[in-house]
């Protein structure tokens, strides 16, 4: 059983501070849905409204088409995995896992059996009688997942549950969580500020900033066709250019900057009058060796090259003194230019996105 | 030790250690040892002290079990609970009177501890988990200010409040709730005044340890319990109370010990029916001038209270190290 979730114009105020501002989104049953955003963007507040710890100031939260207003967290078909896991330290592992069943009046033998079964599901057999403090971080993580699954929720809420783990374990647990979600087919709502996590695990991602959803889409679309400057800056790296649109025709146009005029693709809702900037991802930057007559070319001086193995990051400065970066695949036959050399960088018009530059951009840059 | 010397120098370190040792030895241990020794010797006229009759005996301790008297046990009935439908016939037993007072002291001290706990737990919970932290300093101040007033003053004010024609009776009569003044200190078999006084005097000794334990509880655990479907009873019973157990134990031990050894409150807020064991000790020492028997009774109180507390801690599975936290 898995439930759909719908937020209808949900707003949450804490005193004068508006944490969530008129958010509407529909999450499908069985979907792995992530809210991605910087800290303070309101994503945790959304999770707490869905779980029932707080009631929205305005708007509706629906779980499986049922309005949840006035229904406490203990009466909702949700289970939450907390950032610090919040395992009960004075209960053994199996008591922790079966706590939700104990609440429902299930007898001890059945509870114990169910706990063992769930420990197998999360691949952690044989620790039932230990205390959480006797387990490692990754093991505790699995116990928290098992405890949430024990109540057979229609909806799992995960509040940055992997942030306390080290990198290796985090990557392993990503795949694990995804596999458990597919196996149980429960709707997952996942909160994170880690774009890698959100992109790798989710069916769909909602990027949030300042209490508002900036874009809801599949991970590929979030990365490749960001809705605005905030999404482009928050998810992945970018070379940003300030300037203005000089001509616009059918989704394309000319963008004039102090280092030249470029042929560009227009993002969502961009018109000639809108405040916007040009975004080019480092991996879409090439070096003009063969095609000297490229439409978009900028002369630069290479400052530094950092070799990362499968790719290299080339750091450069354009003639206006701004830093530019390019990511090139490792190719021994075609090495990147050496530091100190002057060269020309190019990018294709369909990879040069002019995006709406709202306040959110300034916010992302300050972070 | 070397750390202490490094930090404060040789002179200051030895001075502080020496003063602490002096305080412990000369002002605490030696007087106790003196009284302890005295409690095993008979009470004799001055000229016989050191004479042939001055030998060690358990007589002072056994006095607790002597002097049986007819005592009408206080059972729930028309006298104790006004308007109660239950009526039990008077039950007269022939018990040693001091032993009876001793048992009553332990029982009523336990009841006081229980009531104080029931008062403090919700307050501590609200302070730690519900109230706005910004209003806490003011709240703490309001709680602590009464503690700055001397115990004597506080007991006297309760004495006035609870007296026959005192403010409480007058107020309730003016409001039309009572038709005649009530002897507030005469209820609960004559111990209601003492109970009110003890609860009021020692309530903070429970509140602070329980509050401390409560603040160290991660709120996410409470939310996790709620999220897994727990109602408020189970939430408290399975998650919050187990976490607070050391604080509850530490507060209970303090309140119980202070209540059982209190002298001022039981004498001031007494009723004709009430006796407290400390009053017996005081009588031995200052009315009969029999310090030997007084010391024996005092040690009995100490030992029995310690045993009682230890048994209680075993019963509730609290370790001594938990309390020290």
Identify which has the larger pLDDT, B143 or B90.
Answer: B143
DSSP string for residues in A284-296 = G-EE-SS-TT-SS
Indicate the pLDDT class of residue B85, thresholds 50, 70 and 90: low
Q: In chain A, what residues touch B226 (CB-CB under 8 Å)?
A: 53, 72-74
Q: Which of A80, A90, A102 sits opposite B227 (nearest CB)?
A: A80
Task: Tell me if residue B240 falls in helix, strand or coil.
Answer: helix
Give pTM, 2 decimals. Answer: 0.79
Q: In chain A, what residues touch B130 (CB-CB under 8 Å)?
A: none
Contact A34, A191 (CB under 8 A): yes
Helix or strand holding residue B101 (H, E): helix B97-125
B99-137 per-residue burial string, b: 16 or more CB within 10 A, e: under 16? bbbbebbbebbbbbbebbbeebbebbbebbeeeeeeeee
Query: Per-residue pLDDT tens for A138-165?
Result: 899 889 999 999 988 999 999 988 887 8
pLDDT of residue A168: 83
Q: In chain B, what residues touch A90 (CB-CB under 8 Å)?
A: 242-243
pLDDT tens, residue order, chain A (367 aa): 788 999 999 999 998 899 999 999 999 999 999 999 998 899 999 999 999 999 999 999 999 889 999 898 989 999 999 988 999 999 999 999 999 999 998 999 999 999 999 998 888 888 999 999 999 888 998 899 999 999 889 999 999 888 878 888 888 888 888 988 998 899 999 999 999 899 999 999 999 998 999 999 999 999 999 998 899 989 988 998 888 888 888 888 889 888 888 888 988 888 877 788 899 999 999 887 655 567 888 888 899 999 888 899 999 998 888 889 999 888 888 888 888 888 888 898 888 898 887 654 444 444 3
The distance of A146 to chain B (nearest Cα, Å) reads: 12
Mutation test of the interface with chain B: which of A48, A80, A147, choosing the one with the most B Cβ atoms within 10 A?
A: A80
Write out residues 57-86 of A within 8 Å (CB-CB) of B.
72-75, 78-80, 82-84, 86
Write out residues 225-254 of B within 8 Å (CB-CB) of A.
225-231, 234, 238-239, 242-243
pLDDT of residue B122: 94
- Percentage of chain B beyond pLDDT 70 is 94
Residue B46 has pLDDT above 80, yes or no: no
Mutation test of the interface with chain A: which of B129, B228, B316, choosing the one with the most A Cβ atoms within 10 A?
A: B228
CA distance B43 to A6: 86
pLDDT of residue A8: 93
Residue B77 has pLDDT above 60, yes or no: no
Contact A125, A144 (CB under 8 A): no
CA distance A175 to A220: 18
- Name the range with the highest mean pLDDT among A295-299, B15-19, B187-191, B270-274: B15-19
Q: In chain B, what residues touch A86 (CB-CB under 8 Å)?
A: 218, 220-221, 223-224
pLDDT of residue A364: 44
Q: What Rg do the C-alpha atoms of chain A give, in angstroms?
A: 24
Q: Which of B221, B228, B243 sits opposite A103 (nearest CB)?
A: B228
Which pair of tokens denotes residue B207? 């509140």
Residue B322 has pLDDT above 80, yes or no: no
ipTM over the 0.85 cut-off: no
Lowest pLDDT segment from A57-66, B61-70, B214-223: B61-70
Cα B170 to the center of its chain, rounded Å: 30
Q: Where are the beta strands (DSSP E) in A112-176?
A: 155-159
Helix or strand holding residue B235 (H, E): none
pLDDT of residue B81: 55
Residues A241, A245, A249, A254: is their CA dihedral positive or negative? negative
Residue A316 pairs with which residues in a beta bridge? A302, A324
């Amino acid at each position: 059983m898995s439930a759909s979730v719908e937020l209808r114009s949900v707003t949450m105020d804490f005193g004068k501070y508006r944490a969530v501002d008129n958010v509407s989104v529909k999450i499908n049953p069985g979907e792995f849905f992530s809210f991605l955003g910087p800290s303070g963007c309101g994503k945790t507040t959304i999770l707490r409204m869905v779980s029932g710890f707080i009631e929205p100031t305005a708007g509706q939260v629906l779980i499986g088409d049922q309005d949840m207003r006035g229904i406490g967290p203990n009466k909702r078909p949700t289970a939450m995995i907390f950032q610090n896991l919040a395992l009960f330290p004075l209960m053994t592992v199996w008591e922790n896992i079966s706590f939700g069943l104990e609440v429902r009046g299930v007898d001890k033998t059945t509870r114990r059996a169910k706990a063992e079964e769930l420990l197998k599901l999360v691949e952690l057999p044989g620790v039932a009688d230990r205390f959480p403090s006797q387990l490692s971080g990754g093991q505790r993580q699995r116990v928290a997942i098992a405890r949430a699954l024990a109540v057979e929720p229609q909806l799992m809420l995960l509040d940055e549950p992997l942030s306390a783990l080290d990198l290796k374990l985090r990557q392993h647990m990503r795949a694990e969580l995804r596999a458990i979600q597919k196996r149980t087919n429960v709707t997952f709502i996942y909160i994170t500020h880690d774009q890698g996590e959100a992109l790798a695990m989710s069916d769909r991602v909602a990027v949030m900033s300042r209490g508002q959803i900036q874009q809801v889409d599949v991970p590929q679309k979030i990365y490749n066709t960001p809705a605005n400057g905030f999404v482009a800056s928050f998810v992945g790296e970018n070379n940003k250019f300030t300037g203005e649109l000089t001509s616009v025709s059918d989704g394309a146009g000319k963008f004039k900057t102090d280092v030249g005029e470029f042929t560009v693709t227009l993002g969502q809702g961009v018109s000639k009058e809108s405040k916007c900037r040009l975004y080019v991802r480092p991996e879409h930057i090439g070096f003009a060796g063969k095609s000297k007559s490229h439409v978009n070319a900028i002369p630069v001086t290479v400052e530094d090259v950092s070799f990362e193995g499968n790719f290299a990051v080339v750091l450069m400065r354009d003639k206006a003194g701004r830093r530019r970066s390019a990511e090139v695949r490792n190719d021994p036959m075609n090495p990147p230019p050496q530091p100190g050399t002057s060269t020309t960088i190019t990018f294709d018009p369909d990879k040069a996105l002019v995006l709406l530059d709202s306040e959110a951009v300034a916010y992302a840059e300050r972070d | 030790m070397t750390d202490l010397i490094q930090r404060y120098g040789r002179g200051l370190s030895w001075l502080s250690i020496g003063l602490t040792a002096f305080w412990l030895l000369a002002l605490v241990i030696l007087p106790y040892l003196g009284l302890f020794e005295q409690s095993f010797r008979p009470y004799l006229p001055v000229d016989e002290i050191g004479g042939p009759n001055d030998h060690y005996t358990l007589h002072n301790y056994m006095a607790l079990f002597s002097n049986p008297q007819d005592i009408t046990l206080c059972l729930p009935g028309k006298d104790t609970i006004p308007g109660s439908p239950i009526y039990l016939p008077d039950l007269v037993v022939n018990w040693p009177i001091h032993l009876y007072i001793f048992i009553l002291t332990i029982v009523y001290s336990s009841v006081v501890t229980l009531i104080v706990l029931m008062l403090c737990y919700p307050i501590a919970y609200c302070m730690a988990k519900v109230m706005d932290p910004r209003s806490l300093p003011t709240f703490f101040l309001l709680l602590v200010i009464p503690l700055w007033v001397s115990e004597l003053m506080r007991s006297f004010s309760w004495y006035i409040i609870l007296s026959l024609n005192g403010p409480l009776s007058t107020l309730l009569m003016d409001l039309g709730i009572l038709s005649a003044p009530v002897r507030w200190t005469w209820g609960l078999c004559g111990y209601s005044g003492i109970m009110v006084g003890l609860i009021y005097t020692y309530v903070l000794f429970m509140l602070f340890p329980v509050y401390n334990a409560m603040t160290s509880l991660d709120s996410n655990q409470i939310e996790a319990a709620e999220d897994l479907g727990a109602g408020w009873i189970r939430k408290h019973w399975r998650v919050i109370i187990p976490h607070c157990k050391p604080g509850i134990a530490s507060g209970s031990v303090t309140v119980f010990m202070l209540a059982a050894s209190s002298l001022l409150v039981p004498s001031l807020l007494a009723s004709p029916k009430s006796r407290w064991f400390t009053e017996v000790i005081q009588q031995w020492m200052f009315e009969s001038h029999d310090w030997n028997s007084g010391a024996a009774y005092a040690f009995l109180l100490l030992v029995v209270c310690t045993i009682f507390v230890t048994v209680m801690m075993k019963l509730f599975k609290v370790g001594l190290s938990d309390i020290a936290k």
